[in-house]
Amino acid sequence: MCGKGLLAALLLVCGWLIPGRMVHAAPQSPPNIVVIFVDDLGYGDIGPYGAVKQKTPALDRMAAEGLRLTSFYSAPVCSVARAQLLTGCYGSRVSVPGVYFPGSAQGLNPAEKTIAEYLRERGYRTACIGKWHLGDQPEFLPLQQGFDRYLGIPYSNDMQRRALTGGEGVVPLVRDNAVERLLKDADQSDITRLYTAEALQFIRDAGDQPFFLYLPHTAVHTPIWPGPAFRGRSANGRFGDWVEEVDWSVGQILDELRARRLESRTLVLFTSDNGPWLIRGADGGSAGPLRGGKGSTWEGGVRVPTVAWWPGRIPAGLSCDRIAGTIDVLPTCVELSGGTPEPARTLDGRSLVPVLFEPAANGATEQGGRDWHAYFSGYNLQAVRRGPWKLAVAAQPATATDATDNPQVIPRLYNLETDRGEQRNVAAEHPELVRELQVLAEQVVAEIGGNEPQQRRPAGSVKQPRTLYPVEEPEAGQRKAATAGPFRALELTEPRNGLSLSGRNAPQIAGRAFRIQLQFQRESESGVLAAQGGTAVGWSLWLSAGQPVFSVRMGETLLEVRGPQTVAGRMTELTAELQADGRLRLTVAGEQGVERAGAGVLQRQPQEDFCVGTDNGQPVAQYAAGEFRGRIQRVRVTAP
């Protein structure tokens, strides 16, 4: 559905245009609303969803007294998930495709209307406590997006920068609009306790006024820092320890609501921003029965453990498998507050009020909720789901279960009702259904996907971005022309697929021409050979239908050169260059290179990892950031 048709469908399903539909009126006094948003928590990481190595008694009780939403979708990575939750829109609609880094010039556009802004208009007190990650410029911080107060680390806890004073890697703890103090790694062990204490105080301060508490935890993103009282408690190492501390925090919030007799007029929603970061090993969590993890559009990357709790209003001890997600949180909160979303502002989500109050009712279109969902990686639509049927329309990252299903085949159709692990492609058995879902995918792309969408709204942008505290590296806004700094070369022999190097261990290429030489032997036609960077700046060498592609991104500009077809099973040498005048050059097996004009060298150092055989962050170009299938014999990054 596109344009006005999509908006009309949203209004129709939410019940505003359906004559005779059962109306789920908001309570006479608007309820308090608490959203607990955990970072990188996988589908199999809490007790109500099958975890046994870490104990989660508070969440077990919450699920027993509430409702499990078992087909609840977020996004592949951090910033997108937060934009979706707060705006009711896919990240692609509001121009939040990936992850924001410290000092980025872009963030969530202040012109977007967030849950906090809607609820504040309805008389709510609002607070954001935790990881913001929608831009760290003053224009983008929570107090400019509808929140009365803020305390937290404004981005991921691994985005340390070396402070100008002291020279150590730190992240800022921000209160409202100012840095309160700088946190070293070990200081993060107190962060969950700090967030919890601040959240409890906010609830106490609210008095009789309705409140909206948005609690996006820093946990359980790496580096893993459970508090001292929780270290060694679980049977799942420090990751399980931190999950248990998050569970303690949930228990503290629910106990406070009970003690103040607020449970009967408070909705609490517990969920996660994306799936587990599997490449982090023991620190990465579990997707349980689902395939894939963070960074992917497999179910394990975007379907997240979710529990809704409101004693006396939400039926206790049930599960609901209807399609829902972070994009539905805004319309749900607005309806509960007695408000109405602005008709001129297109939303992708729908109110879950009927789903929450009548989870056993049949039929999404009659009882509320959505009957389809779009799976985006950046601006690239990779799959759509309608009812139980999920159609992959792009190659997806390789996983440990590829022996039973090739993720490079397009299209692929899965019945998630009988195959939630996405093991059996049944596209050949249902050609008419495949075509119907392809049409849906084409409509979604035309509206908000790809490079020429009809209805994408702009991101927020500032001209002179600065980091929140003085750092050793030049700040983004202070970079004039790119200057050649110290170049860090790299040579790897027989590197394993999935190898990643971060920070100063990665090739230092800002302001410099560089050359990548790579020898490989492929088994499949697609996959990432090497990459460094993401949706802001970076480069990638990857395969498309057996053809090598060299992609270079500089903000909104993406340049590419493609080489000739390579032969499976044959060792092939590539040389890719970004030259000093900005030209891209790609040479394959010694043949005459392919060139195209460019836009200069990279103006700043890519913030994402340097990866071999995969891309563990947001992709530089429109490819599935999955693991290469084959052998990589040598990788060299040098100055020409």
Can you tell me whether residue 476 is helix, strand or coil?
Answer: helix
* Exposed / middle / buried, residue 172 (Cβ in 10 Å: 0-12, 13-18, 19+): buried
The whole-angstrom separation of Cα 197 and Cα 203 is: 10
Q: Helices 191-206 and 237-259, interaxial angle, to 10°?
A: 10
The whole-angstrom separation of Cα 396 and Cα 402 is: 11
Task: Give the C-alpha distances (Å, rounded to integers) separating 495 from 397, 516, 570.
Answer: 19, 15, 18
Q: Using an 8 Å Cβ cutoff, are 41 and 220 in contact?
A: yes
Q: Using an 8 Å Cβ cutoff, are 337 and 30 in contact?
A: yes
The whole-angstrom separation of Cα 139 and Cα 129 is: 18
Length of the chain in residues, anyone?
640
The whole-angstrom separation of Cα 347 and Cα 326 is: 12
Residue linked to tokens 């453990």: 305
The one catalytic residue among 14, 78, 89, 611: 78
Measuring CA to CA, which residue among 354, 353, 408, 413 is closest to residue 388?
Answer: 413
Q: Which amino acid is at 600?
A: G
78 belongs to the catalytic site = yes
Measuring CA to CA, which residue among 99, 135, 264, 296 is closest to residue 114?
Answer: 135
The whole-angstrom separation of Cα 6 and Cα 561 is: 37
Q: What angle do CA 49, 50, 56 make, to 5 degrees?
A: 80
H/E run at residue 85: helix 78-87
430 belongs to the catalytic site = no
Backbone angles phi, psi at 230, to 5 degrees: -115, -5
> Residue 475 corresponds to which tokens in the numbers above?
């700040």
Report helix, strand and coil shares of the chain as percent, to nearest 5: 25, 25, 50
DSSP of 195-254, one letter per residue?
A: HHHHHHHHHHHHTTS-EEEEEE--TTSSSP---GGGTT-SSSHHHHHHHHHHHHHHHHHH
Q: Using an 8 Å Cβ cutoff, are 285 and 46 in contact?
A: no
The one catalytic residue among 89, 133, 373, 611: 133
Measuring CA to CA, which residue among 306, 335, 301, 408 is closest to residue 80?
Answer: 301
User: Active-site residues: which are they?
Assistant: 78, 133
